[in-house]
Structures are given as structure tokens and as C-alpha cells.
Amino acid sequence: MPAKEKFDVYQEITDRIVAAIDTAGEFRLPWFKSTGGSFAIPVNIASGKPYSGVNILSLWLSAQASDYPSHLWGTYRQWQEHGAQVRRGEKSSLIVFYKRLDIEQINEETGETESAERLIARASHVFNAAQVDNFKAGVAATLPETPAFDPISRAEQFAKATGAKIEEGGDEACYIPALDVIRMPERCRFIGTDTSTPAEAFYSTLCHELVHWSGSKSRLDRRLSNRFRIEAYAVEELVAELGAAFLCSELAITPEPRADHAQYVAHWLTILKGDKRAIFTAASKASQAANWLLAHEQGAP
């Protein structure tokens, strides 16, 4: 009898994201959705803490596929502990967590044995609040809620708080490393669509460029060339897309798909299909950038 193939959480999540990108359409990435599912950052029902990195993408895709309106998720046991019950036949969604293991290893320079830590990826399965019975909304009273504010007003304050030099003018949105400047077309030139207002289009584009800005050597020093070599530029664009999506969710802005998606999507698919950990790295870097940028609102980058 052949040995049972070991479950690979990296490959499973990567395959799901690749499949979603494959079917999302030429100019649309799966996390830029116009209908269905909650676009709020997913939150764990037990800890009250938001998920991060690739888990945000995995749960967004699940929410979109099944049209879940809630951003609250938990394991079967966590829902039970809150007095709720996952309905029979409901399908779980996959996330990954990292377990720290204490190991001993040989120091190559000294030849001596030394203690070290290793992170081991483990799969976990969670259910959305829409999949359970007897869940009382009051249970989530202490969890993060969508801020009751004008999203455009906060977006403007957020952009100013970062301290980035932002100039409006020209025909293209871009970050210019040599000048350390973000250049945006004048905001009055942005137009609305069926899914976003002109202001949302402007701020979601600005979020993309702010993620690029965050990666400079004097800030997060995001060096992707060591990991991806010739693919570094394409992966940096993916980091900026993911980071913009995370920021738009936090700022309650409907993200606007970029017209230049088409030239990157095929490239991203090639990278993801050839490297099962690439999306984990990109999502992790995007979360780091988004969190770092948002910290400026509290004056603590």
C-alpha cells in the first residue's frame, strides 16, 4: 500500500490563490472584488486579533466564494467556546500558523552545539460567523469594528501622517526612489466606476505607491532581489498590490483595480506556480508594510 502523501500547507494555499487569480479576469485580482463577501480584515473570534499575511488572502477568497458577510472567523472549538455551533456539513477554510520548536544545531564556525528556534508551518481550519448557529452579535462587542467615519477623510489624514512627499501632476502614478517622491496624477483626473468613487480610485492608487515608498533602504529596506533575483521587480509589484488591498480594507476604501494588472498577472502566476512559498513571502512583506504605514497615525512607525 503506497504511503499517504504528506499534506503541504504551502502548496495547498498557493494552489488556491493561483486558481483564484486564474479565474479573476484580465484586469482584476481576486482580492479586488466588487460583490460578495466581507472586505474587512479577517478577525479571530477567540483572540480578537486580526489575521495577517497570506491568511488574509485565504480568508478573503473563502468569503468571496461563499458570500460570507462577516469578517469573524474561528476554529470549531473556538465557536463552541462562544456558545455557537458550526452547522453540520459546513466546509472549513484553510489558514496557516507557525509553531516554534526548540532545536539544537552545530555552529559551522565553532563546531559547537547551540540552541536555536525553528518555525514550522502548521495548517488550521476555521469557519466564518455565517456558518454557525447561536452566535450572538454581542459576543463581538470587544472586537475591532469597521470605523464609523468618513473613509476619504481618514485616508487623507493617513497619507499625511506617513510623512511621504506626495506631488500631484503628470499622467502616471509612481514612486521615484532617486527623488524619494510619490508622484500622482491630480486627484480631479480620477474618475469613478461602478464599484468605486473617484476619491476611492485616487486613494487606493496612492496606497499602492505608499507601499513602494515604505520599502526604501531608509525605511523597511525591502530587499527582494536576494530572495527572487530577476523576479524581484514583479514580486515588489505584487507586494504593493497586496499592501494596497490591506490598507484599503483598514481605511474602508473600495480598492480600484489597476489598468496595468494585465502585464503582471501572467508573470505572477508563473512565479507562484514555480515557488509555493512566494505568495507567503509577498503577503508577509505586504502586511509588514501596511502595518508600518498605519502605525504613523499613532505617531509610532
11-20 pLDDT tens trace: 998 888 888 7
How many domains does the chain fold into?
2
Q: Are residues 192 and 66 in the same domain?
A: no
Q: Is 18 part of any domain?
A: no
Q: Is 192 part of any domain?
A: yes
Annotate 192-243 with DSSP letters as a single string: --SS--HHHHHHHHHHHHHHHHHTSTTTT----HHHHGGGHHHHHHHHHHHH
Q: Are residues 132 and 215 in the same domain?
A: no
Q: Are residues 300 and 171 in the same domain?
A: yes
Q: Is 33 part of any domain?
A: no
Residue 192, pLDDT score:
67
**From 26-30, 38-42, 102-106, 245-249, the region with the lowest mean pLDDT:** 26-30
Please answer whether residues 182 and 209 qualify as being in contact, where contact means their C-beta atoms are separated by less than 8 angstroms: yes
Please, which pLDDT band fits residue 117 given cuts at 50, 70 and 90? Answer: confident
Residue 65, pLDDT score:
86
Of 91, 53, 97, 47, nearest to 72 by C-alpha is: 47
283 or 147, higher pLDDT: 283
Quote the CA–CA distance of 243 and 165 in Å, as a whole number: 19
Residue type, 87: R
**What sign for the dihedral angle of Cα 238, 149, 44, 89?**
negative
Q: Are residues 185 and 282 in the same domain?
A: yes
Give me the domain span that covers residue 95: 41-145
Q: Are residues 91 and 193 in the same domain?
A: no
223-275 pLDDT tens trace: 999 889 889 999 999 999 999 999 999 998 887 766 665 566 778 888 899 99
144-174 pLDDT tens trace: 444 332 347 899 999 999 999 999 887 789 9
Please, which pLDDT band fits residue 188 given cuts at 50, 70 and 90? Answer: confident
